[in-house]
Structure 1
């Protein structure tokens, strides 16, 4: 019987050619991700409450012809499957001759839309710009839990991400389309607590940014989570809604980039 992942795989894109696969495993083994026939070692980045975090990176240059890449996760004991018994995933890489297709969706649309339906030009990347993790339902659960501690919060938020990102339909999309998820907005009436804020940032970095190793971040000092990347003829600048210096960030970015054509600026209010 093959090992099942706790969560994942989660696929992301960090600039034109760098693809990243992250996952949570139940055990610590030597995991490899095979992109078609190319083997890439998955490196363990940390131990979480419910699993071990691994990350694999690969550079795949664009060709004149578009193509699909199939990938699997293996150990010496065989293939790993996700919680929906999938053992193989694939993603689309656009042609170098055409502008890549970018999608921007809310979390709700991401769940409801058929993003993997057959299209002449499939998505090369998706950005979730309205991923509000702490909604009213979650907030009410937080308020009901007595004597919050760091361990309580770690348990709660890790389970929450595993549940939300592990949804049958969403998990397939997250494994099949490179995705970046913007820093979620916290409701104005949420609990003002330093430990809570630190915990939400911690799990945002792990599951939404795919760790601070993400090279699209404008800074890694955790003061804000704005990011910028270029891929397939697209230029994207995503400004963190919690950062009060958005205008300064924008001006700095524009000053350092001579070519502003095809620049898309995204931010949450």
Structure 2
């Protein structure tokens, strides 16, 4: 359909069509004419975006920075929420560095994810409120100290989910890092329980005064995409406990634990 025929449509219909486009299609469409660019660049199209990997972007289905930058660059100040598949460390660095008002970041898949994805962002406070890492069993070499510094460097961060990926956050290293921040953290879900004790759990709630619940999952394949109540019903050997009454033997006996603060 030519631009002439496209703009013969009622404006409401044209707007509905534009809203169905993904970021890549919007990026291509905005280059066709000035009038269409006005529609494609509307802030409502860029406040919350989903970035699936291009099948042809790489043999591994990963985003290349050279492909992503032209799509996002004109809209960086508008973006509040990003859900992305197929990232490299440099892609995460670009998103955190360039999207200054980014509040919600969900990373769904990668090949490897390391400290290099986050370490360069630890000197500048970030606007993140929610961070989700769901790696579909992919490898993660994210150090607990770096992870803790990231939490501390996000003064507005409320929810952190690290699930369905091969990562274990060492308790002492995490606690040492969040002692410098984490005041806004309300929920923390981690696919790790190997190094945790009741002392660590209690101390975390003391350090993070706003923390309402902590979920420690022994199996990295467990997922918390469901609500907490629904997730607990799907977990074998699961325990729900008030932080004031959790005991050491319970940490050892149960595979998956959700600790609440009253």
The TM-score, its normalising length taken from structure 1, stands at 0.25
Q: RCO (CA 8 Å, sep 6+): is it higher in 1 or 2?
A: 1
Larger Rg: 2
Query: Which is richer in helix?
Result: 2
